[in-house]
Amino acid sequence: MAAPVGSGLPMTDREIREDDADDLLVEAADWLVCLTSGAATDDDAARLAAWRATSLAHEAAFREIAGVRNYAVAAKHNKQPAMVSRRAVLAGGGTVAVAALTLGVARPPLGLWPSFAELTADHRTAIGERYAFAPVSGVKVEMNSRTAISLLDTTRDGANGISLVVGEAFITAGERGAPFRVKAGAVEASTHRASFNVQRLDGGVRVACVDGEVTCRGGDRPLMLRANEQVFVAADGGTRRSEIDGAKATAWRRGLLIFEGASLAEVVDQINLYRSGKIVLANAALGGLEVNAIFHTNRIEEAVPQIEQLLNLRARHLAGGVVVMS
């Protein structure tokens, strides 16, 4: 797992000369070039995290160069691949550098390498890894495999919370005055006390309440979820509410994936969290096939042949761990 930002050397205030600041900007630009090369690895992300944690000045230099907020806007308008050099970064500042980034960095094809947002997240898990941390007192966050989470900026967002960049997380929040928030794309789940699961899928966001009450916003209407209820908010804003068995919905915490009448599209999304490469369906119609199955996450390689037998499908194995099912 890439080390979370702040887990390296302690961040300390120190007096920075102008030359030092320039050197830090150059180093930060080098890191940006590395991250946007398409060849960045988890080791690169870990070394970057340690570099950012060296001092407040290092972190400030990286944020100035990266311009994370501007990046998200610029990437939407980027149509042609482009490379960016550190000289271009320093000559034009963070915003110009951001405008030169490629759409492939924002959304790598088939998710075959981490996106820029994942690499710059505060906490990340690798394939098959789980990790837990406490973002604030009284709140525990359990991260599933291939998950990236950033902490919300309380000075800007006005409340404690996290942003689920990719993947899945289980949140346990004790009784609190101010709500704890979880952002996942355009969806926001908040609670004063609850245990709930949030997952980002290709087609939308799923929020499942196991205990307590969770308020969900971002769909076509706000919803209050209670124990053993979930809502799926599609990319177009449509919502689908349903009753669940909370223990089965969060069985990944026990190393199981339990599907009862689930669509193949949903099953594939879930399985992709636990393997390198990606399973893709040859056509959209296959996504509606119904699946009843249990998979062990530590034996996830058995999932593809199981699905082939259950649904009489054929799997073609391509380079990079890509599997096309038809």
Q: Say which CATH number the domain at 213 has.
A: 2.60.120.1440
* Torsion angles phi and psi, residue 312, rounded to 5: 55, 50
Look up residue 276 and give its two tokens.
């390198």
Look up residue 245 and give its two tokens.
């068995």
Residue type, 318: L
Residues 219 and 155 in one domain: yes
Q: Which residues contact 47 (CB under 8 A, 6 or more apart)?
A: none
Structural domain ending residue among the three candidates 82, 100, 119: 119
Tens-digit pLDDT profile for residues 155-194: 555 568 999 999 999 999 999 888 999 999 999 999 999 9
Residues 110 and 195 in one domain: no
Residues 130 and 114 in one domain: no
Dihedral sign (CA 58, 60, 61, 65):
positive
Q: Which residues contact 307 (CB under 8 A, 6 or more apart)?
A: 264, 267, 291, 293, 313, 315, 325
Residues 112 and 227 in one domain: no
First-to-final CA distance of the chain:
33
271 contacts 257 by C-beta, under 8 angstroms: yes
Tens-digit pLDDT profile for residues 265-312: 989 989 988 988 889 998 889 999 999 999 999 999 999 999 999 999
Residues 261 and 238 in one domain: no
| CA–CA separation, 321 and 301 (whole Å) | 11
In a domain, 11, yes or no: no
Structural domain ending residue among the three candidates 211, 230, 249: 249
Q: Residue 183 belongs to what H/E stretch?
A: strand 180-184
Question: Residue 10's pLDDT band (boundaries 50, 70, 90)?
Answer: very low
Residues 154 and 194 in one domain: yes
Residues 198 and 160 in one domain: yes
| CA–CA separation, 64 and 22 (whole Å) | 12
| CA–CA separation, 192 and 179 (whole Å) | 5
Sole residue written with tokens 């960095």: 105
Structural domain ending residue among the three candidates 119, 150, 170: 119
Look up residue 18 and give its two tokens.
């102008």
Residues 313 and 243 in one domain: no
Q: Which residues contact 225 (CB under 8 A, 6 or more apart)?
A: 196, 207, 208, 209, 213, 214, 215, 216, 231, 241
Residues 99 and 204 in one domain: no
Q: Residue 173 belongs to what H/E stretch?
A: strand 168-173
- pLDDT at position 73: 39
Q: How many Cα atoms sit within 13 Å of 217 on the Cβ side? A: 6
In a domain, 222, yes or no: yes
In a domain, 321, yes or no: yes
Q: Which residue has the higher pLDDT, 17 or 138?
A: 138
Question: Residue 198's pLDDT band (boundaries 50, 70, 90)?
Answer: very high
- Output the pTM of the full model: 0.67
Residues 133 and 227 in one domain: yes
Is a pLDDT exceeding 80 seen at residue 74? no
In a domain, 243, yes or no: yes
Look up residue 204 and give its two tokens.
């939308």
Q: Which residue has the higher pLDDT, 13 or 255?
A: 255
CATH number at residue 274: 3.55.50.30
In a domain, 281, yes or no: yes
Residues 115 and 162 in one domain: no
In a domain, 2, yes or no: no
Size of the chain in residues: 326
Residues 133 and 236 in one domain: yes
In a domain, 9, yes or no: no
Number of domains into which the chain is organized = 3
Per the structure, the complete domain to which residue 155 belongs is given by: 126-249
Write down the number of H helices and E strands in the chain: 11, 17
What is the 3-class SS of 77-90, one letter each residue? HCCCCCCCCHHHHH
In a domain, 6, yes or no: no
